[in-house]
Structure formats: C-alpha cells, structure tokens
Amino acid sequence: MARDIYDPAFVADVFDHCSARYRRWSSVASFGLIHAWRRACVAALDLSAPQGTHGVDLMAGTGEVWPHLLHRFPDIARITAIDISPGMHAEAVERLHGPRADRISHLCANMLETDLPDASADFAVSTFGLKTFNAAQHEIFARQLARILKPGAPFALIEAADPKGWVLRPAYRLYLDHVLPGIERTFLKGAQDFAMLGTYTRAFGTGETVTTALRDAGLAVKARPLVGGSARLWSGHKPG
C-alpha cells in the first residue's frame, strides 16, 4: 500500500530520524541560506510592542528561529514552541538549557490538533514547517493560527517552495531531487532522512494553498517569493 506522506505519524517519523543531524545538515545543504531565510521571516514580523509579549513558534523543530527572534525582540516575555516529532522535541529541549529556559516552553504536540488557548498569542512564526502539510491540512493550520492569535496580532511564515518559471529551477530541482539525496547516501552512511525534501517541495509548489487557506481563515496576508521563488514568505495579522 502506498504510504501517506502527509500522515502526521509518518511526518513525525521522518523528523525523528533526522533530528540529531537536522541543525548541521539543514545549514550545510542550504549553503547557509536557511539562516538568512529565518532572519527574513522574523524581519517580516510586524510586532510594534514586543515588551511583555507571548509568541508561538509553530512546527518549531529544534528551535532554530529562537536566536533570530530574541535578537530582534529582546523584550519578548515568553515563547511557546510546538513540534510533533519527539526527536526534534528532545533536541529542542536540550537547547533550552541556559539563558533561554525560563522564557521558552517546547511542547511535543500536533499543531493541527493542539488546544493552545484561543486568542492567547501576541505573534506567531513558523519556519519551514508548511511543506509537510497538504491543502486540507493548510486549511486546518490556518484556522488554528487564526484561533490562537489575539486580534491585531501579527504572524510571519516561511517555506521552501518549487520556483516554477525561474530560470534556475532545473538546477534547483536537480539539486533537491538527486544531488542532496546522493550526498546523504554517500556521506551519511546510507541515510535517507532528507531525501523527502524534493518530494515535499515539488508537491508544495508555489504555496498557493497556504495563501488561500490563510485568507479563508480571515487573516490579512501578503505573500512574496524569495530567491526566484525557491522560498515563499507570508506575513500579515489577524484583523481586529
């Protein structure tokens, strides 16, 4: 039977497998671009009064966006991070030791089902957690986001996309679909943890289903492509 690559249990398993290597490998495989993209996501967050705020980091992984968030908004009071993969959760909790532990809590939970309280977040960010959702799940995600945000609260989301129409797309696809999995198999003892990236980005396309879902959920949103469309950034707020 064909596996459902959008089954939350399957997705959690994919990230459990790569959790120990995720931080380093995502940085190397993106030639460091992923750091600039996380920074761009945080820069797109229109947070006018960060003092005393409580934010959420959705599909947080190992917490790679936190340094960018706390650098731009040192006065953030609290961040609640959420991720479905126990492996990523364990790596993230490890990262909390030190000065961040009192300000960040990391929950191992499914974003599509979480009961984080209504209107409880002053802002939301999500970096690279949307491609493992299908269109129906984007709708659920958007409704959850709209539910959790306080009226007027901003959000910023970023995801790797398929840069349709970009002159460098053939090279980009070759890299994601063949070169990366090949490097991984050769240098990481036959690992195939990141080989799914090509499949997920191809199915994700330009991320139109995210834009539609956010609008349908009543959020004000602007979407813009980065680097020829190889990533897409959504920023906006919950009206009210």
Q: List residues binding ligand SAM (CB under 6 A).
A: 8, 11-12, 15, 26, 38, 59-61, 64-65, 82-85, 88, 110-112, 127-129, 132
The residue among 84 and 161 lying less far from ligand SAM, judged by its C-beta, is 84
User: Closer CB to ligand SAM, residue 55 or residue 61?
Assistant: 61
Residue closer to ligand SAM by CB (options 105, 151) is 105
* Count of residues making up the chain: 240
Residue 124 β-bridge partners: 56, 155
Write a three-state SS string for 129-141: CCCCCCHHHHHHH
Helix (H, G, I), strand (E, B) or coil at 96: helix
Helix-strand-coil split of the chain, %, nearest 5: 45, 20, 40
Closest CB 60 distance from ligand SAM, rounded Å: 5
Minimum CB distance to ligand SAM, residue 161 (Å)? 13
Question: Based on CB atoms, which residue is closest to ligand SAM, 53 or 62?
Answer: 62
Residue of minimal CB distance from ligand SAM?
61
Residue-by-residue DSSP string for 28-86:
HHTTTHHHHHHHHHHHT---S--TT-EEEEET-TTTTTHHHHHHH-TT--EEEEEES-H
